[in-house]
Amino acid sequence: MNGVTWYDKHPAFIVQAEEPFNGNAPLDFLCQEFVTSTDLFFCRNHGNVPVVDSNSYHLTVNGMVKTPLVLSLDELKARFPKVEIMATLQCAGNRRDELQNVAPIPNELPWGAGAISNAVWGGVRLRDVLIAAGIDRKAKHAAFSGLDAVTRLGKTFGFGGSIPAEKTLLPETLLAYEMNGQPLEPIHGFPLRTIVPGYIGARSVKWLSTITLQTEPSDNYFQQRAYKLFPPEVTPENVRWEDGIMLGENSLNTVICYPASGDRLPSGAVQVLGYAIGDGHNLVNAVEVSGDGKNWIGARFLTDNRDVWTWRLWEASLALPAGENEISARARDTAGNSQPQDTQEIWNFKGYSNNAWHRVKVQVKE
Ligand code: MTE
């Protein structure tokens, strides 16, 4: 591992894999901060962390545009207004470990519920850049590609993916060069990345080199194979890759960050803390918590934010009897959507989009 910097992460940061570097904050740290400190922000990498020289760096915008652009970082900053957006990134593999308890999911990282974090992103609006390039109305997708090197199926290429053209034109979609008021850290995509609020983290491509406007989604491995959702009966042996659903928007989700499974708690009311995240369109407006799966109480939101792509932190006070208890949490949104009850019904062989009710087992002392 890069022992020199450890990528400047917090001493409590949990490293899931050293090469490529992947990790996340412990859950009890995560729910203490509405805006996650950069040193606790989760990292998801499929290849190396490229060292990019910001002086020679340039972004290429090509494909279905009138005027292809090649922009240095300084040109990008000078030509387009700076905006800031608070947005939560969640990896599609968040909570995979619970799906792995249903049936094995080999060759995928066993993420717990920490593959999510919230930051304030500074940069320019993607739509401003695409309007300057003269986006063709017939373009249906914007494909992004990164400067890292990932090897899959015997080939080495940059990580990539795409989003629908409509999402590129919404004001929240950014080309970000800052995170929490500072230039992006190398591990988070220096000098430039996309930020696609409300979408799975995979579409927020780091070390961005090229944006190509086209009629079809990206042909990159991470759009055509990985980050696709299949029904529970599909396996690596019988999969037809073209049948999978390309993941885009997040799923409504909520997680108990404190207490943790296995905790031994004193008797009396237990303070339960967690996060909830919407599907990118609708605001989470209710979280409920239960100690027995039958009687539910409403949690109180600790944050009053209304942006649908930003998580909401919550707390509840739950009276639990002595002995073993299973605490459950579930959320609803303004459109009336709710979460599936069990992981069995949503298991998929790549281990994506687990948004079943979250449960932790705790021991309450006499
Ligand atoms: N961009 C590049 N170039 N390479 C990657 O491996 N990982 C993606 C996305 N962008 C990735 C990437 C995934 S799967 C996620 S969840 C987010 O970056 C994570 O962003 P972070 O590491 O800044 O938290």
Q: What is the mean pLDDT of each run of 10 residues along the chain (366 residues)?
A: 67 94 97 97 97 97 98 98 98 98 96 98 98 98 98 97 98 98 98 98 98 98 98 96 98 98 95 97 97 96 93 97 97 98 97 98 95
What's the confidence (pLDDT) of residue 316?
98
User: What does the pLDDT look like over 148-169, one tens digit per residue?
Assistant: 999 999 999 999 999 999 999 9
Q: What global pTM score does this model have?
A: 0.97
Pocket of ligand 1 (CB under 6 A): 41-47, 89, 91, 146, 148, 159, 188, 201-202, 204-207
Distance CA 231, CA 245 (A): 10
Work out the angle at residue 218's Cα, subtended by the Cα atoms of residues 217 and 223, and round it to the nearest 5 degrees: 95
| For ligand 1, mutation pick of 16, 42, 159 (most atoms within 8 Å of CB) | 159
| For ligand 1, mutation pick of 21, 57, 59, 91 (most atoms within 8 Å of CB) | 91
Check residue 335 and give left, alpha or beta (phi > 0: left; psi -120 to 50: alpha).
Answer: alpha
Which parts of 121-251 fold into alpha helices (H)? Answer: 126-133, 165-168, 221-224
What's the confidence (pLDDT) of residue 366?
86
Distance CA 138, CA 105 (A): 39
Which position has the token pair 């696709």? Answer: 228
